[in-house]
Structure 1
Amino acid sequence: MASAPNILIVSQKGPLAYQALIFAASLRAHAPGFQGALVVAEPVPEFAWTGVDTRLPDKVRGALTELGATIVPFEARHFGQSYPNGNKIEALRILPADQPFVFFDTDTLITGPLDTVKFDFKRPAASMNRSGTWPQPPLYGPGYGDIWRSLYDRFGLEFESSLDLTQPDEHWERYLYFNAGWFFGADPAVFADRFLNWAIAVRDDPGEALACQTLDPWLDQVLLPLVIHSLKGGRPPRSLNGLDGDISCHYRSLSLLYARESDAVLDALESAVAAPAVRRVLRDWEPARQTIYQNRGRKKIRPLFETDMPPREQGIRQRLKAAGWWLV
């Protein structure tokens, strides 16, 4: 990397607290050469989070600090409990301006040397580990092209160069669309201002082309391609293949991790959280206690999928729930 970026994750009381601990432990275990800062953004229980205790448990806070993380509070004034995914948009503002950053969803496991990833911070990008979740064009239109073009036109962006012309017209992959599980850029201040202002604008006034579209929980993923395109970024190059590959795993839940990820990912998880200081805290979280420390992830969940893996995540979730192993 040209310079070590600041890493940003968001955490608060509840599952995100323990997922943050897993992230920090895995970063230190599997990317010991990484020299950047790990910033854990914690929403204060005010403004858009009024009435919700968002504060990290003391034991988690202490364990994160011991792992080298810096916990920084931030004010969520626009989304909060009405749209928790908006935390990632508002939290970007706590990072130092003009310093490169990488955002990760907290339910991510670092499995390899992150310091070897060749980020080009002048050309932002985001995760392509996505499916065609948005938009869902109505039967009589508008179609994919008209919906996406309306957003580019709204914010004064050139549309044609965002297209993947190897994909057919009106196929969802033709249009720039990311999973917001990771993304990066050169200046979090510029990125955050654009992301926040445009997200608020679309939330408050979707416009005619989006009248039939659902923006919850997709709003952040709708605006992320526009922000990245406006900053001269786009689809990630091959140099980033380790993300969502050998370097990181966006597992979403420990149940899903044990159901579908490789043995190498399981080994990376279990070795990262084996240290007594991490184990003492993480055992307070029921999903971790059962799947990792009581070994039920390997003994109970893994066998459910050894011979037949559903092609879609929904099918995996349904089987886990039916067997009583959907743990959150």
Structure 2
Amino acid sequence: MSFNILIIGQKGRLQHEAALFAATLRHGSPRFSGRLIVAEPTGPLWPEDPRIPTGPQRSLLEELGAEFIPFENRHFGAAYPHGNKIEALAALPAGPFLFFDTDTVITGELAELEIDFARPSASMKRENTWPRVDIYGPDLREIWRDLHIRRGGRLEDTEDRDWPVNHWRRYLYFNAGWFFGADPRAFHAAFLDAALMIRDDPPPSAVAQELDPWLDQAALPLAIHELGGGRPGKGGGVATDVFDGSHSFHYRYMPLLYATAPDHVIESLQSATAPNRIKKVLKRHEPFLRFLYQGKGERARALFDRENLPKREQAIRNRLRRENLWQR
């Protein structure tokens, strides 16, 4: 099955991450036959041009077969950059798509995967970040129930009954680091409508919730449920251990990658970034220079046992900071 890959391209940190993503895609998945689409935001909701400028990162992306497609921010823009992944879907060509955050590396052959794009799904690499429950209520179940009802869904159809009522894992909640679907226009409509409802006209139970940066993650479960999908392996059309597992790794920041990634991720990453034509571009971004090429990655990795990592990411960050190994 052929499908398109979508990432967001933007000047600054994302232009470097996009170059690394493309390098790992071509190395880890040489048989991928779809289009790698780098969607670039435009429009008056940005105080200055946010696109990737002409230069080594853009040239490397082009050399690696990326296609640049502009899209206009109509609802979010600089005030909420996470909204790019919602609005970029409207610019995609028809056909199955797979979205990745740029701070992701590809570590396996995507062409070998069996993905049912008609059953959308998304990343379960998340913590209990949204919604926040006040001691006086409403509780988690009430908030999620009201949100699903507002979108025409049924909370009962989304619950994972392996977890007790009001445990956050019982409710459909994703990280928006990757997601997929069969029809980008339909996904865009569902995702955008859910996000605008939560932002502009939420049910009373969700009025007091903090939405920055969580709006995309709050809206994504509603869209996926509306489109007939669910959790990976439990209603969603992909196995549980493929993305954020055997075939990709969402690292967020270089120190976290080296501290937490399995060995196969590090091995694939180092092979993908070894060629001189890749290295000379990536080393322009200081975190890549320090961690990929100057040994900080190995130092960070030596601090942690990947089989017994701290349960909270903040504990990992704190130790890296104490060792002067934190860099964004």
Indicate how the Cα distance of structure 1 residues 69 and 205 shifts in structure 2: closer, same or farther if over 3 A, else same. same
Superposed displacement of residue 7, structure 1: 0.4
1:137 and 2:136 are equivalent in the alignment: no
SS of 1:239's equivalent in the other structure is: coil
Q: Which moved more, 1:34-43 or 1:52-61?
A: 52-61
SS of 1:255's equivalent in the other structure is: helix
SS of 1:269's equivalent in the other structure is: helix
1:211 and 2:210 are equivalent in the alignment: no
In structure 1, the partner of 2:291 is 291
User: Which of 10, 25, 28 is equivalent to 1:27?
Assistant: 25
8 Å contact 2:255–2:320 — kept in the other structure?
yes
The 5 Å alignment of 1:173-322 reads: 173-237=169-233, 239-298=239-298, 300-306=299-305, 309-322=309-322
SS of 2:245's equivalent in the other structure is: coil
In structure 2, the partner of 1:5 is 3
In structure 1, the partner of 2:114 is 118
Indicate how the Cα distance of structure 1 residues 52 and 319 shifts in structure 2: closer, same or farther if over 3 A, else same. farther
- Looking at structure 2, the residues matched to 277 and 78 of structure 1 have their Cα atoms a distance apart, in angstroms, of 38
User: Which of 65, 68, 91 is equivalent to 2:65?
Assistant: 68
In structure 2, the partner of 1:42 is 40
- Looking at structure 1, the residues matched to 260 and 197 of structure 2 have their Cα atoms a distance apart, in angstroms, of 38
Return the TM-score normalized by structure 2: 0.94
8 Å contact 2:177–2:250 — kept in the other structure?
yes
Instruction: Give, as a single letter, the amino acid of the residue that structure 1 aligns with 2:229.
Output: G
Indicate how the Cα distance of structure 1 residues 231 and 53 shifts in structure 2: closer, same or farther if over 3 A, else same. closer
CA deviation vs aligned residue, 1:209-261 (integer Å, no higher than 9, x gap): 11231111111111111111111111112635211111110111111111121
- Looking at structure 1, the residues matched to 53 and 165 of structure 2 have their Cα atoms a distance apart, in angstroms, of 47
User: Which of 151, 163, 167 is equivalent to 2:163?
Assistant: 167
CA deviation vs aligned residue, 1:63-88 (integer Å, no higher than 9, x gap): 00100111112111211111111110
- Looking at structure 1, the residues matched to 79 and 39 of structure 2 have their Cα atoms a distance apart, in angstroms, of 18
Superposed displacement of residue 294, structure 1: 1.3
In structure 1, the partner of 2:90 is 93
In structure 2, the partner of 1:157 is 153
Superposed displacement of residue 107, structure 1: 0.5
- Looking at structure 1, the residues matched to 171 and 249 of structure 2 have their Cα atoms a distance apart, in angstroms, of 24
Superposed displacement of residue 57, structure 1: 4.5
Q: Which moved more, 1:307-316 or 1:149-158?
A: 307-316
Q: Which moved more, 1:303-312 or 1:55-64?
A: 303-312
Alpha-carbon RMSD across the aligned residues, in angstroms, is 1.6
In structure 2, the partner of 1:325 is 325
Instruction: Give, as a single letter, the amino acid of the residue that structure 2 aligns with 1:228.
Output: I
Instruction: Give, as a single letter, the amino acid of the residue that structure 1 aligns with 2:198.
Output: V
Aligned-residue identity in percent = 50
- Looking at structure 1, the residues matched to 169 and 240 of structure 2 have their Cα atoms a distance apart, in angstroms, of 19
8 Å contact 1:119–1:240 — kept in the other structure?
no
8 Å contact 2:52–2:58 — kept in the other structure?
no
- Looking at structure 2, the residues matched to 90 and 53 of structure 1 have their Cα atoms a distance apart, in angstroms, of 15
- Looking at structure 1, the residues matched to 309 and 281 of structure 2 have their Cα atoms a distance apart, in angstroms, of 32
- Looking at structure 1, the residues matched to 309 and 161 of structure 2 have their Cα atoms a distance apart, in angstroms, of 32
8 Å contact 1:40–1:69 — kept in the other structure?
yes
SS of 1:126's equivalent in the other structure is: strand
In the alignment, structure 2 segments of 5+ residues that lack a partner are: none
- Looking at structure 2, the residues matched to 187 and 53 of structure 1 have their Cα atoms a distance apart, in angstroms, of 27
In structure 2, the partner of 1:18 is 16
Superposed displacement of residue 208, structure 1: 1.3
8 Å contact 1:48–1:81 — kept in the other structure?
yes
User: Which of 87, 97, 103 is equivalent to 1:107?
Assistant: 103
8 Å contact 2:40–2:50 — kept in the other structure?
no
SS of 1:244's equivalent in the other structure is: helix
- Looking at structure 2, the residues matched to 83 and 208 of structure 1 have their Cα atoms a distance apart, in angstroms, of 23
Instruction: Give, as a single letter, the amino acid of the residue that structure 1 aligns with 2:158.
Output: S
